Amino acid sequence: MATLICDERSYAPFTLMEYEHAPGSYCLMLPDGRMGPTLDVFAAGGREGGGYAWADVALQLMRGGAPELEARLGMDPEAGMFVAYGRDLEALRRLGELLRAAFHDHEQLAALVRDAPFEYD
């Protein structure tokens, strides 16, 4: 079980939560029901657009502009959900800002999809 620690609009459509069973442990997630507006962007880049593809986009964002974040959080994506997790709330907030911006800027997202590594997807 997790508790929402921010309002849903801060990182929308991503959600940042703190786990109730593990205070001080957080996750940033994007379920498949919220991925719809970007599926065409991923398809145009030859990707399915699920959680694994979003993990590759997250890696591209971190490596291209915030390399310090990669060592400060983990990722555990699934086909239908992107999840980044860790105890470093500020790192997850920064990743949430980067991902939210890419989600809403399809030109930026297309470039990220094109250049993203295939480490998860």
Query: To 5 degrees, how large is the angle CA 84–CA 99–CA 26?
Result: 30
pLDDT at position 6, please? Answer: 62
Residue 71 lies in a domain: yes
Residue 121 lies in a domain: no
Residue 25 lies in a domain: yes
Residue 120 lies in a domain: no
Residue 107 lies in a domain: yes
The parent domain of residue 45 ranges over 2-115
Residue 49 lies in a domain: yes
Residue 61 lies in a domain: yes
pLDDT at position 119, please? Answer: 80
The answer to whether residues 83 and 75 touch, using CB atoms and an 8 Å cutoff, is yes
pLDDT at position 74, please? Answer: 98
- At 73, list the tokens: 């959080």
Instruction: Compute mean pLDDT per 10 residues along the chain, 121 residues long, and list them.
Output: 66 91 90 95 94 96 96 96 97 97 98 87 60
Number of domains into which the chain is organized:
1
pLDDT at position 23, please? Answer: 84
